[in-house]
Amino acid sequence: MELTREEESALKGEQGEIMQMAYRILIATGEATDAEKLIPIEWAHLSGVNYNTIGDAGEEFLSSISKDARVTVKTTLNPMGFDIDNVINYGLDENFILKQLSIRKSYETMGVIPSFSCIPYEIFEIPKDGTQVAFAESNAAIHANSYDNLKTNKESAFSALASALVGKSPYSSIRKDDTPNVTINMKIKNPNELTYGMLGFFAGKVGDTSVNISGLAEMDNRQCKAMCGGMGTSGTCAKFIFSDGDSDCEKIDFDEKEMQNVHDELNTAEKGDMITLGSPQLGLDEISDLTNMLKGRSFQKRCMVFCPRTVKEQARKIGYTTELERAGCEILSDCCTCLTPLINKDNVDSVTTNSIKGAFYLKNSNGVDVNLKSLSQIIQDETR
């Protein structure tokens, strides 16, 4: 890689151990992805927050570097393991709570905005077109590239943190070339958000760094997020482009057969013991939609609704939270369906959700079975 004198100095340790470590991570990442150089970024979004995922080693690492490390660009943060406002209601292990709060403190000490959200694109202002960012949350990286006209690779927890400390990222992968290797023809009529999530999951499997998708009607926000979440779960693909592609591009149909294959892979139960909504977390528009769809109805089993804290506060001011709580919803902020210890196989056998991303992690990380339904079907079947 081509390095500036300043970058070479940092790599030698002349700017301290923290910067040396960060540059080593970025250069190793860059060399592995054929980067030519490092380029400035304006925003980093970090994963590696939930104690469930980083464990004691991650907590101790963050505690150690936070004594000296400080981020140099705007830096936001993925969800953690619980909502501090109501964690007492869920019987979590005290050690988990203490370790999670230590992780939170370390990030705040480093200057990270404690957003605890996987949808930074909904709660922060989007920079100008073409801005380079470094997003470790997969659905956010895909959303940034596909909808927000930003540029980011699908970063790892380490590379995004290093980028936050240095203010740079390797110029490689989709930052250099976003030419799709395949065009997916959407053949499903009248798709809902679950359909789009399955399309995204399929696209993530067949795509390289990016894919063309043809035959799509205009999507609403819920459908858009569902596709980003599904794609981020199943592969390395980091962008989709609404195009028919060129003649050299391989063409694949996403039809009823392919959709059924995805459904069969992730749907492992005929019904759920409880319901989760919010993976990715729900934004204010989705909270509004959910409130309107309920129309005085109530859930007949537990329903956990995950959203960012800023959205929860806005929803409370408008009156949405009062209506959702009346309908039996548990509204949680700062955490998400994915990887939360709040859903445990010791007390839940199966979960109903409309999220492909949520289904993947509930099945593979939480160890529970999943019943997939669209939101409209959930409300029809699970409320009275």
Segment (H or E) for 359: helix 356-361
Domains of the chain: 5-175 (3.30.499.10), 182-264 (no CATH), 267-382 (3.30.499.10)
In whole angstroms, what is the distance from residue 274 CA to residue 13 CA? 52
Total number of residues shown for the chain: 384
Tell me how many degrees the CA angle 18-23-27 measures, rounded to the nearest 5: 155
pLDDT per residue over 259-305, tens digit each? 999 999 999 999 999 999 999 999 999 999 999 999 889 999 999 99
Q: Are 1 and 27 a contacting pair, CB within 8 Å?
A: yes
Q: What is the band of 63 on the pLDDT scale with cuts at 50, 70, 90?
A: very high
DSSP assignment, residue 47? -
Average pLDDT over residues 47-51: 96
In whole angstroms, what is the distance from residue 379 CA to residue 384 CA? 9
Q: What is the band of 219 on the pLDDT scale with cuts at 50, 70, 90?
A: confident
Average pLDDT over residues 336-346: 89
Whole-number pLDDT of residue 75: 98
Average pLDDT over residues 221-234: 95
Residue 359 amino acid letter: A
Q: Are 29 and 170 a contacting pair, CB within 8 Å?
A: yes
| Sheet (strand 239-242) strand order | 239-242, 210-214, 182-186, 250-254
pLDDT per residue over 118-127, tens digit each? 999 999 999 9
Q: What is the mean pLDDT of the chain?
A: 96
pLDDT per residue over 138-193, tens digit each? 999 999 999 999 999 999 999 999 999 999 999 999 999 889 989 999 999 999 99
